[in-house]
Chain A
Amino acid sequence: MKEIIAIIRPRKIGETRNALEQLGFPSMTATAVLGRGAQRGIAAEVKHINPDLLAPNHAGGMKYIPKRLVSIVVKNVDVATVVKTIIEVNQTSQVGDGKIFVCPIEDAFRVRTDERGESAV
């Protein structure tokens, strides 16, 4: 099992959810988070952000940008499909589309039925 942690734009969460649901991955956990990437937040109204300009030094800049953190646990064989779908749905070709991390999960447990392992996912 793998956990796929995707940090994406909040406006794209609906599209992502629908796309994954059609593929048969309806379960996910989404959290509202704040974050920043290599561009150091948003520097005021500048379209192409110079990384040397720190966003906090700019009046009207944003140190952190609101994002959605989506966590999905899937079987090993499904990782590539889910990652590909998330990338396809969330691409806008603009900086800030997000990142995806794939982490190993050792065990899973379903509270209702006491199932363990892959059948619990």
Chain B
Amino acid sequence: MKMIRAILRPETAELVAEGLAEAGFVSLTKINVFGRGKQKGITVGTVHYDELPKTLLLMVVEDANVDTVLKLIHHKAYTGNFGDGKVFITSVEEAYTVRTGAKGL
């Protein structure tokens, strides 16, 4: 299993979530975060914004589905401008469902 953390524009996060649900990846966790990238935030006129609002989508999928999810995120979240976001993939060793105590996704 892999955990996929996608830091996206808040306005595209909902598109991504809908696209993922259509493709059968319904479960996800949404967290509102603040951050900046290589561009060190954004300067509008004389005002510099150091931390930009972003939405972090966190989901855990089977190894075989990682590429599908990544393609979907790229397809839905792409605008071509700086600030489209980043996706990080980490490994998950075990998963449990609390209600049943069963192992696995």
Residues of A within 8 A of B (CB): 2, 5-8, 31, 33-38, 40, 54, 64, 67, 69, 79, 83, 86-87, 90-104
Contact = CB atoms under 8 A, between A and B. Distances in A.
Interface string B11-34: 000000000010000111111000
Contacts of A31: 31
A36 B27 contact: yes
Contacts of B98: 6, 8, 86-87, 90-91, 97-100
Contacts of B31: 31, 33-34, 69
B29 A92 contact: no
Given A91-B99, A92-B99, A95-B99, A101 B30 contact: no
B27 A38 contact: yes
Nearest to B105: A99
Interface residues on chain B, size class? 20 to 34
Interface in B31-60: 31, 58, 60
B82 interface: no
A104 to B, nearest CB: 6
A94 B95 contact: no
A96 B22 CA distance: 21
B88 to A, nearest CB: 12
Nearest to A34: B30
A47 B46 CA distance: 54
8 closest Cβ pairs, A-B complex: A97-B98, A35-B29, A97-B99, A102-B94, A100-B96, A98-B98, A34-B30, A37-B27
